[in-house]
Amino acid sequence: MSIVVVGTVGYDDVETTRGAVRDALGGSAAYFALAARFFSPVSIVAAVGSDFSSDDHRLLAERAIDLRGLERHEGRTFRWKARYHADMNRRETLSLELNVFARFSPTLLPDQRRSDYLFLANVSPELQTRVLKQVASPKVVGADTMNHWIENEREGLLRLMKQLTILMLNDDEARMLTGEHNLAKAGRALVKMGPQAVVIKRGEAGVLHFSEAGVFAAPAYPVEEVVDPTGAGDTFAGAFMGYIARMGKVNEAVRRAAVVYGNVVASFVVESFSLQRMSALSWEDIAERHRAYNELTDSQPPRWTSP
Amino acid sequence: MSIVVVGTVGYDDVETTRGAVRDALGGSAAYFALAARFFSPVSIVAAVGSDFSSDDHRLLAERAIDLRGLERHEGRTFRWKARYHADMNRRETLSLELNVFARFSPTLLPDQRRSDYLFLANVSPELQTRVLKQVASPKVVGADTMNHWIENEREGLLRLMKQLTILMLNDDEARMLTGEHNLAKAGRALVKMGPQAVVIKRGEAGVLHFSEAGVFAAPAYPVEEVVDPTGAGDTFAGAFMGYIARMGKVNEAVRRAAVVYGNVVASFVVESFSLQRMSALSWEDIAERHRAYNELTDSQPPRWTSP
């Protein structure tokens, strides 16, 4: 039930209306792993540079994240700078430096090759495919993608999709990949393109989950203090995949419950900059918000039926 | 359990990416009543001009809508022209003619004055207040509003809010009225301003319902063919108030169930232009989509637990 995640581990400069951070630990694999660890052992496959701090390494290692696959190369770590608008659903990427990640070509460890659960975070379809080929017989393969790959590596992405169990992407990406503006239609079209299930992430509008069994709509937990939305999608993915790995099987009921945990855990990450909230999170925090989420979405609340 | 609704009955010219209609029957009270009638008797208080067609009068009357309060005045009926963007959450109002509605000052009939359920659709807070004063002891008073009144009749709206049971408004209006960008905070602030409950409408992102009991998030039903979003909010309000009137009481459980019926019925109105779909709708259609909505939002689907 261990999960392997391939993605970035890097440093972010992020500015929002609530403040700014520089050189903050980030990257899709870091966010993913810090969420998944609550549900399942998780192993990061990524590369960092010689500037990667031992404190950050320790932060991940102390939280039981397997870092044997975190390669250290000469050079600088992956870096990303972004600024969010007052409407935190919108942001501008100010700069992106792949640095050592540009020449990253991982060779998975023997036990990673036998993994049942694999998540291909938002890297090139070519790299995602190269990693997937090394895993012998995964039970569940999830992947994220983005507009850049949809525009520039469409064929590779379409081939990869046929091998996926679960595809995650945001609403604009779903529209771009299918050419369909309507999300209900886009979701149905995506399921026909290969994955058993498709999760369309809509920020504060929540998540739509599509499969042959139908559509599941899960609202976002309404967070009162959104400080930094960075990593919400990767955190969602980590909790979602983590829950599935913990259950040891995947069907519609498991995926829907996993979507709920994805929303619950992602609601924490946005409450502070970078991974601050995630690195201090406890299982009790998650359980409490899971109860709150169930109340939030309960259309037949028995305890409120008195006049 | 009869509902009185004060609002507009008029003619709309609407253009969307899916086509256009001219002189189509519309207006907040018409949309409201055609939804509410499935749950409760409903009585329209509005004014139309001498150009109001007998066919349109008959369309409403044949669907058991009480039109004794639909005054006919010399002059033209209320008219509205709008164009929707490809993103149907956005539209431009091209023209608005109040016409006979400009001098509308209704006097309610004796039985309307004894009504338990009153809905003040989106007209001026001054007119909403004038109607409210005529109703002796309503059990539930709902109201809608819009940016124009928030900007130009703020004091009147704030006074009215103290007398409301339920306020409905969209996300931008909630932000404008509270000065709070975060919707979770805006909703909480609005409940403190008077109403027992506040419904924030977010288009295809669904609805947030706030009360002292907490927050309820209800996704929109994902409609595959959105032809014309006009009237979705008024239709939501009609089904919501209709359900409450039918239950004969209001508490958190009743309001949450009412929100679900609001979403369900509103999902039909957008499937065709104007009131075409609503005037042909059956209770069986509603019941079937209500079941589909429950599946859409069911995070613990028992029948999908096999591997």
The domain total for chain B is 1
CA distance A206 to A216: 11
CA distance B243 to A55: 58
Supply the Cα-derived Rg of chain A in whole angstroms.
18
A225 touches chain B (CB under 8 A): yes
SS (H, E, C) B27-75: CHHHHHHHHHCCCCCEEEEEEECCCCCHHHHHHHHCCCEECCCEEECCC
Residue segments in chain B with a per-residue pLDDT below the cut of 70: 1, 302-307
Mutate to test the interface with B, among A180, A304, A305, A306 (most CBs of B within 10 A): A304
Question: pLDDT at position B306, please?
Answer: 46
Residue A302 has pLDDT above 50, yes or no: yes
Question: pLDDT at position A300, please?
Answer: 83
Q: What's the CATH number where A113 sits?
A: 3.40.1190.20
Residue of B nearest to A209 (CA): B296
Question: Are A222 and B183 an interchain contact pair (Cβ–Cβ within 8 Å)?
Answer: yes
Provide, rounded to the nearest whole percent, the portion of chain A with pLDDT above 70.
98
Q: How confident is the model at residue A90 (pLDDT cuts 50, 70, 90)?
A: confident
Q: How confident is the model at residue A307 (pLDDT cuts 50, 70, 90)?
A: very low
Whether A274 is in a domain gets the answer yes
What are B130's two structure tokens? 């004038």
Task: Note the pTM of the prediction, 2 decimals.
Answer: 0.93
- Length of chain B measured in residues: 307
What are B23's two structure tokens? 């002189």
Question: pLDDT at position A88, please?
Answer: 85
Whether B187 is in a domain gets the answer no
> Å from A218 to nearest chain B CA?
7
Whether A291 is in a domain gets the answer yes
Strand A10-16 with A19-26, pairing: antiparallel
> Å from B41 to nearest chain A CA?
23
Residue A173 has pLDDT above 60, yes or no: yes
Give yes or no for a contact between A60 and A44, defined as CB atoms under 8 angstroms apart.
yes
Strand B214-218 with B207-211, pairing: antiparallel
Considering only CB atoms, B222 lies closest to which of A183, A225, A295, namely A183
Considering only CB atoms, A182 lies closest to which of B217, B226, B253, namely B226
Whether B182 is in a domain gets the answer no
CA distance B125 to B163: 12
For chains A and B, count residue pairs whose Cβ atoms are closer than 8 Å: 126
> Å from B307 to nearest chain A CA?
6
Whether B50 is in a domain gets the answer yes
The answer for B 60-99 residues in CB contact with A (under 8 A) is 86-87
Whether A306 is in a domain gets the answer no
pLDDT in tens, A124-168: 999 999 999 999 999 999 999 999 999 999 999 999 999 999 999
pLDDT in tens, A106-122: 999 999 999 999 999 99
CA distance B255 to B241: 9
The residue range of the domain holding A111 is 3-297
Question: pLDDT at position B307, please?
Answer: 42
B287 touches chain A (CB under 8 A): no
Q: What angle, rounded to 10 degrees, do the helices at B283-296 and B252-269 form?
A: 110
A248 touches chain B (CB under 8 A): no
Sort A201 into a burial class: Cβ within 10 Å, 0-12 / 13-18 / 19+: buried
Whether B190 is in a domain gets the answer no
Question: pLDDT at position B86, please?
Answer: 86
Average pLDDT of span A187-209: 96
Whether B136 is in a domain gets the answer yes
Strand B42-48 with B70-72, pairing: parallel
Question: Are B298 and A249 an interchain contact pair (Cβ–Cβ within 8 Å)?
Answer: no
Nearest Cα to Cα of residue B223 among B293, B276, B301, B274? B293
3-state class of B182 per DSSP? coil
Considering only CB atoms, B217 lies closest to which of A183, A216, A297, namely A297
Which contacts of B143-148 are long-range, i.e. CB under 8 A and separated by 24 or more positions?
B143/B119, B143/B167, B143/B168, B144/B28, B144/B119, B144/B120, B144/B168, B144/B169, B144/B233, B144/B234, B144/B237, B145/B169, B145/B173, B145/B177, B146/B122, B146/B173, B147/B172, B147/B173, B147/B176
Question: pLDDT at position A306, please?
Answer: 46
